[in-house]
């Protein structure tokens, strides 16, 4: 005779034994293991929170284990609370089938088919087996009815697809919400349109856009939509690739910003450097602090900056113009490679002139740079010391900032005078006779020193 220790889980309460002398196969009864019951309880969420888990479990257990009436009571006792058990039993008694298969209101029939007290059913007889089958089927109906909560379509609408949730898992949550918060059966044909609309409108944005573009959407099945959604989901960029691309873009932007900062800090003139730095600051603030009309708001330092420009126009520029415009009409001169020149620089604050040279012109490049208020067109000229030993210390200026670009004024003595616009450091030049003789022309020019400073 077999003992409980000889059995290996899983074992069923009703196990078919060997046939008897008349050819019938009697069933042997083994109670459900308490450890199995509590394992099922621990591995599934509470019925009040997520009823689908216990419904699926009971559906499987009632089919495979074929529990008796006593076993069903034990399952209800362990897996459900008192209030949940009452709702399940009351709902099941409303679903007891009558002779025509529809729920009956005959109380005697209800008590006979779904008794609340232990019945005398013999599971080895055909009648007893049928009684147990109807009881288990009705119990599952009551379980599903108890899982339904008051109709609340807002709860269904609140089910949104998670960031990394698969379309199949999301569809299952949608259908569970319909079962829980509506009287609808999401698998029924009449519920198809509502389930499809919820699945499409509540999917992730990339999947939703793709599904909404499908022609004749209402004629598609849920499986067709699920296939499309899975393609979009599987073609998404992996998070690590997306992160790497974002890091590469950030690194590229940082490299560009550093290059612009380097360009600004290595500018030849302080004014040019300040201009680049202001551009960087404006770009950093771009898109922030704008008004409703799209115009950028004034920053806290912009008023002071504008006042500084106003002072330069009203005070500094007139002083420089008075100095540079004094004297006879200027005669233009075009510097060409090979010409020798002296360069005169003006101190930023005192405007004191200082000469330095001689320099030899190595390159002259015409430009279309227009300097407001001083000259119309300028040339870009590069010079280098004609003979470094000839440059006297007396000619070296007291400030260290090299001036590389200048603007030409004209003198009656055919001596080109190079200077900056009034808001720049003044520079003038005068030609001298190189070994091959001086060359005088009539085009304004500017100078760039290739010796590291003038």
Domain boundaries, the chain: 10-147, 153-234, 329-449
Per-residue model confidence (pLDDT) at position 176: 87
* Longest pairwise C-alpha distance within the chain: 143
> For residue 52, what pLDDT is reported?
84
Q: Return the pLDDT at 440.
A: 34
| Residue carrying structure tokens 């006979």 | 112
pLDDT of residue 289: 46
Q: Which residue has the tokens 């599971």?
A: 123
pLDDT at position 184: 86
Question: pLDDT tens digits, residue range 292-342?
Answer: 454 556 666 677 777 777 777 777 777 767 766 666 555 555 667 777 777
pLDDT at residue 400, as a whole number: 36
Q: Output the pLDDT for position 402.
A: 38
What's residue 398's pLDDT?
Answer: 38
Is 117:105 a contact under the CB 8 Å cutoff?
Answer: no
For the chain, residues with pLDDT lower than 50 are: 1-11, 288-292, 294, 368-371, 373-378, 392-454
pLDDT attached to residue 140:
93
Residues 6+ apart with CB under 8 A from 257: 280
Residue 399, CA distances (Å) to 97, 179, 296, 430 in order: 107, 86, 39, 21
Could you say which architecture CATH assigns to the domain 153-234?
Answer: Orthogonal Bundle (1.10)
Out of 1.10.375.10, 1.10.3720.10, 2.60.40.1080, 3.40.50.300, the CATH code matching 10-147 is 1.10.375.10
pTM of the model as a whole: 0.42
């Amino acid at each position: 005779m077999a003992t409980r220790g000889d059995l290996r889980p899983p074992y069923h309460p009703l196990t078919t034994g060997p046939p008897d002398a008349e050819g019938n196969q009697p069933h042997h009864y083994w109670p459900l293991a308490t450890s199995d019951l509590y394992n099922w309880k621990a591995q599934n969420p509470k019925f009040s929170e997520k009823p689908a888990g216990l419904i699926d479990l009971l559906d499987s257990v009632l089919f495979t284990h074929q529990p008796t009436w006593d076993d069903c009571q034990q399952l209800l006792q362990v897996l459900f609370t008192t209030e949940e058990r009452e709702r399940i039993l009351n709902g099941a008694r409303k679903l007891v089938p009558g002779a025509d298969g529809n729920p009956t209101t005959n109380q005697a029939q209800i008590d006979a088919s779904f008794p609340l007290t232990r019945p005398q059913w013999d599971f080895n007889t055909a009648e007893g087996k049928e009684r147990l089958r109807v009881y288990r089927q009705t119990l599952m109906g009551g379980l599903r009815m108890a899982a339904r909560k008051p109709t609340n379509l807002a709860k269904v609408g609140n089910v949104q697809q998670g960031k990394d949730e698969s379309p199949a898992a999301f569809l299952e949550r949608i259908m569970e919400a319909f079962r829980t918060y509506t009287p609808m059966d999401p698998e029924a044909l009449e519920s198809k349109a509502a389930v499809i609309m919820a699945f499409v409108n509540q999917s992730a944005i990339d999947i939703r856009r793709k599904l909404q573009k499908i022609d004749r959407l209402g004629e598609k099945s849920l499986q067709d939509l699920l296939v499309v959604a899975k393609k979009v989901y599987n073609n998404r960029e992996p998070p690590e690739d997306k992160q790497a691309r974002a890091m590469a873009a950030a690194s590229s932007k940082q490299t560009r910003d550093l290059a612009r900062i380097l360009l600004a800090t290595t500018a030849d003139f302080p004014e040019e450097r300040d201009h680049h730095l202001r551009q960087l600051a404006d770009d950093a603030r771009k898109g922030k602090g704008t008004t409703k009309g799209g115009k950028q708001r004034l920053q806290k330092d912009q008023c002071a900056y504008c006042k500084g420009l106003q002072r330069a126009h009203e005070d500094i520029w007139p002083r420089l113009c008075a100095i540079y415009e004094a004297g006879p009409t200027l005669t233009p001169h075009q510097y060409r490679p090979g010409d020798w020149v002296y360069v005169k620089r003006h101190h930023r604050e005192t405007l004191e002139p200082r000469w330095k040279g001689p320099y030899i012109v190595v390159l002259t490049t015409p430009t279309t740079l227009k300097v407001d208020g001083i000259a119309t067109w300028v040339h870009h000229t590069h010079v280098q010391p004609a003979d470094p030993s000839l440059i006297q210390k007396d000619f070296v200026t007291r400030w260290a900032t090299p001036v590389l670009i200048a603007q030409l004024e004209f003198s009656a003595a055919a001596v080109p005078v190079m200077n900056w616009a009034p808001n720049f450091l003044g520079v003038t030049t005068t030609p001298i006779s190189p070994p091959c003789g001086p060359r005088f022309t009539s085009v304004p020019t500017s100078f760039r020193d290739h010796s590291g400073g003038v």
